Structure 1
Amino acid sequence: MRTQEWIKASLKDQGCKLKDVAEALGITPPRVTDIIKGKREVQADEIIPLAELLNLSAKSLLKSLEEGKRTILADETIATIPITGLLFGDGRLVANPANESVQEVPVPPGLTSNEGLHCFIMGDSSMAKEIKQGDIIITADPRTHFYPMTPGGIFLVKRGKDKLALRQMVTAEGGETWLAPVPEQPNPAFESWRFSALPQVLEATTSKGTENSLSPTVYTDDIFAAVQWVHRRYMPQAAK
């Protein structure tokens, strides 16, 4: 494997250090050193956060890693996804601050279009066991990009007008399927909802969209998108 000493110079240009790379990629500093020395390859899920840290497109980063030197592809057309806003556990969607350094991200590797994709920033700790506050989330319309609606998946749920909330699909002891928040500590401010794959007209429960119900039911039509990519980045101050 090629050495990647050019990364050091690029980090210096961006005012970053090796520990920032480790934080952005979710690895230890020695693993970053191994990348620079050519002993470890950059993994697929590390391409976008590393490219953002080095101010490169994903394609330019891949070319740079291939050649062992910083290489910018001048003739490439990069599809991007604008960041819609910050998601909160109560369903609020807050506009991305104008002073936020990241306003859009490249489409994930292997894709050439942003069709059916939406990008958000996690605004709170309602999903902290899976998605940390400040993480960049790319969701995909499951009708455009196949994604099975099975336990373990994380979905963006429509909850009334202009409300979108992330929840993980889980199976309760009694066999019912629920969409639940996964904070580090229990928080009654974050609701769970029963999920039914049946059409609403076949359900005895008609609580769709009823926020005051003891157990509101979410139906397939209420699923706005599925989380398919989560990018962690170095954030000295996480969004609040």
Structure 2
Amino acid sequence: MTGEAKYPIPNIKALRDERNMSLTEVAKIIDRSRMAINRIERGERKLTMQWAEAFANAFNVPVAKVFGDDVEIELISPEWLETEMNRHGLKRIDLADALGVAPSAITGILKGTRRISTEEAKVINEWVNSSKEKVVASAPARAATVPLRLLKKDGGKYTFAGKAVGTTPSLPSQINDKGAYAVVQVGFEMAPKYEQGDVLYAVSDRPARIGDYVVATLTDKSVLIRRLTDAGPEGYTLSKIAEDSGVKIPESDIERLDLIVGSTSV
């Protein structure tokens, strides 16, 4: 039994059928799970820009073709831009300089409250690509992997399941962070930002800002994957993705607050 479509039905199945490609073949090409692709095809899971680019490369078509002819998409989505900046450690102030705007305008773009013009989209694409190349070129020799951790349910709460179960390729934004790690997201409803089974990449040396997504470890060793929506003398407010308000936790009850800088969908 399949679920109901929650998102616009993309053009993926039609593109597959035109090429006589099975779900398994596509999954192998883009290195994603067959089940996740099937859910996206049916509109049960959101087609993000990251996924759309992977499908576009697999089918050798423009990204817009993946979304479908009747679906309007932005040339640059705030979600894609935020993900790329976090994954590669790119700074907002540098993007503001590239666009010739105030840093507050970048905040508006990332929050989705400021629209991006066609010309700005071209500049952003060029800036992201050139900045990524500079990061790779200037990166010092480093470990190419980070520990991969799992979560387990313990008495109604989630905790880290002992030691890391292995390693996974690191992100450029995790360079030189000795506390960097990856964790498989389970048990926390954070769709469409993060789905169950996604691998989240976190760093410990960069402070989280309001609106960032974090992995919070409490003093009782329980773990929360949430969005930071407020911070003050009374503590931190951690919320689900669809909420502006959440649970306020005293600072004394938080052992560490690690910033999520990227994710990989399964």
Normalised-by-shorter TM-score class = 0.3 to 0.5
Q: Which has the higher helix share?
A: 2
TM, length-normalised to structure 2: 0.42
Relative contact order, higher structure (CA 8 A, sep 6+): 1
